[in-house]
Copies of this chain bind each other. A is one copy, B any other.
Amino acid sequence: MHLSNYFLPVLKENPKEAEIISHRLMLRAGMIRQQAAGIYSWLPLGKKVLDKICGIIREEQNRAGALEILMPTIQPANLWYESGRYDDYGKEMLCIQDRQERDMLYGPTNEEMITDIFRSYIRSYRELPLNLYHIQWKFRDEIRPRFGVMRSREFLMKDAYSFDSDYKSACASYNRMFVAYLRIFTRMGLKTIPMRADTGQIGGDLSHEFIVLADTGESMVFCDRKYLKIPVPSANINFFDDATIENIVRQWTKPYAATEGMHNKDGIWAKMTEGDRLSARGIEVGHIFHFSTKYSLPMGALIMGQNGKKHPVSMGSYGIGLSRLVAAVIEASHDDNGIIWPKEIAPFDIGIINIKPGNIHCDNFSQMCYEKLQSAGFDCLLDDCDEQAGSKFATMDLIGLPLQVIVGPRSAMAGEVEIKDRKSGTRKAMSFKDAINHIGGI
């Protein structure tokens, strides 16, 4: 992509309304635009990051055996009367009457609807386990939306729902999602710690939050430093070997970890050595629940068991706040100059800066670099705009592409480029041929 053909409305000034770093940087980097309180448009750069995050989540959900579906945003209220949860969300739920005066709502979550889908098709334990997920916009009418997409009203969520015939199998489903979540966040370059959590409005008896560590996080977390060294399973882990998966979950839940609300500083924490104690700031990015028959019982989602008798199916749900995750990554990975994208979710792999557009050597050489890198499989953004070099450097740092290739008049004539690593800030001059090898080897 040539910047002259792109739509990247960067802001030079810090927008006043943005209280936290990710919100500030997303506005400044032209990733999002507010359309109403807590409601955002995603501009091209933001949309690309969102898509990359969706891509990783899909891959890992599919790997763990979940199947993708897509439920609508608007739900009939009657499903919520059935579950008895219609009033639980209070004014946070966006209630709507359609033209026939039927009560509808913009879904804040989908436990009811998925239970309805399940009960209309599945009859027997033989068709289980089943895990269905979707990635869809949700709405929660927060009284005070703020912090950009970190706490917005319309937000993108991945929610998965598991169905099992008994408790043991339900735990295995829970564990698969637990491990899938470890892989998802790790692939995004995040250090994430699962914490035992309160089940809130979703309900149930077992729940973990996944908290990203970030110095600018929203709340305090307290955990054992051992978490920083527990290995995350590789892509070829067998998700259907229940014992192995359970072992990984045990490893990841054994050391102490607690959110501020659950922290007990006089218990295990008091007995830990100073060196083991890690108190840090974090951001919740995922939340998983086992809630057994909370919805299947009132809604009559029954299955025939091995014993020939009908019983309510055992369920869990597994959410990731996708739009909020974009902000969380930025909170965890930025510096004074802007965003530093982890490689797997960077909107472009490489930014190429033509320092002097109009100079024939610069134009030709930067275009050549662009074409070669594109055909080598790198997605590049070539800044071919007529701006001061200083402003170009600032923009490229701000939008945080992992690698920069800088082409100036002198280097162009010598067939050289300067390579800058956004994270470390190191710059190296080399021939373009060496640069290709260098980039390919990263």
Contacts of A37 in B (CB 8 A): 100
User: Is A249 interfacial (CB 8 A cutoff)?
Assistant: no
User: Is A270 interfacial (CB 8 A cutoff)?
Assistant: no
Pairwise interchain contact A73-B43, C-beta atoms closer than 8 A? no
Within 31-90 of A, Cβ neighbours of B (below 8 Å) are at 33, 35-37, 39-44, 46-47, 50, 65, 67-76
Residue with the highest number of chain B CB atoms closer than 10 Å, among A9, A42, A72, A117: A72
Pairwise interchain contact B69-A41, C-beta atoms closer than 8 A? yes
Contacts of A36 in B (CB 8 A): 74-76, 102, 104
Within 176-216 of A, Cβ neighbours of B (below 8 Å) are at none
Which chain B residue lies CB-closest to A10?
A: B121
Cβ of A177 to closest chain B Cβ, rounded Å: 16
Contacts of A141 in B (CB 8 A): 98-99
Q: Which of B39, B46, B76, B113 contacts A41 (CB 8 A)?
A: B113
Residue with the highest number of chain B CB atoms closer than 10 Å, among A41, A43, A68, A132: A41
Contacts of A92 in B (CB 8 A): 99
Cβ of A145 to closest chain B Cβ, rounded Å: 10
Within 110-143 of A, Cβ neighbours of B (below 8 Å) are at 113, 116-117, 120-121, 130, 132, 137, 139, 141, 143
- Cα of A117 to Cα of B42 in the assembled complex, Å: 11
Which chain B residue lies CB-closest to A77?
A: B36
Contacts of A46 in B (CB 8 A): 70
- The copy count of this chain in the complex is 2
User: Is A91 interfacial (CB 8 A cutoff)?
Assistant: yes
Pairwise interchain contact B106-A7, C-beta atoms closer than 8 A? no
Pairwise interchain contact B116-A35, C-beta atoms closer than 8 A? yes
Within 1-52 of A, Cβ neighbours of B (below 8 Å) are at 5-7, 9, 33, 35-37, 39-44, 46-47, 50
Q: Which of B41, B43, B99 contacts A91 (CB 8 A)?
A: B99
Cβ of A67 to closest chain B Cβ, rounded Å: 5
User: Is A220 interfacial (CB 8 A cutoff)?
Assistant: no
Q: Which of B7, B70, B73, B91 contacts A67 (CB 8 A)?
A: B7
Contacts of A40 in B (CB 8 A): 72
Contacts of A67 in B (CB 8 A): 6-7, 44
User: Is A154 interfacial (CB 8 A cutoff)?
Assistant: yes
User: Is A94 interfacial (CB 8 A cutoff)?
Assistant: yes
- Cα of A113 to Cα of B42 in the assembled complex, Å: 12
Contacts of A132 in B (CB 8 A): 7, 44
Contacts of A153 in B (CB 8 A): 74, 98
List 23 A-B residue pairs with CB atoms under 8 Å apart, sorted by A's residue number.
A6-B67, A7-B67, A7-B130, A7-B132, A9-B121, A33-B117, A33-B120, A35-B71, A35-B113, A36-B75, A36-B104, A39-B75, A42-B70, A42-B71, A44-B132, A50-B70, A72-B154, A73-B73, A74-B94, A92-B99, A94-B98, A98-B141, A137-B137
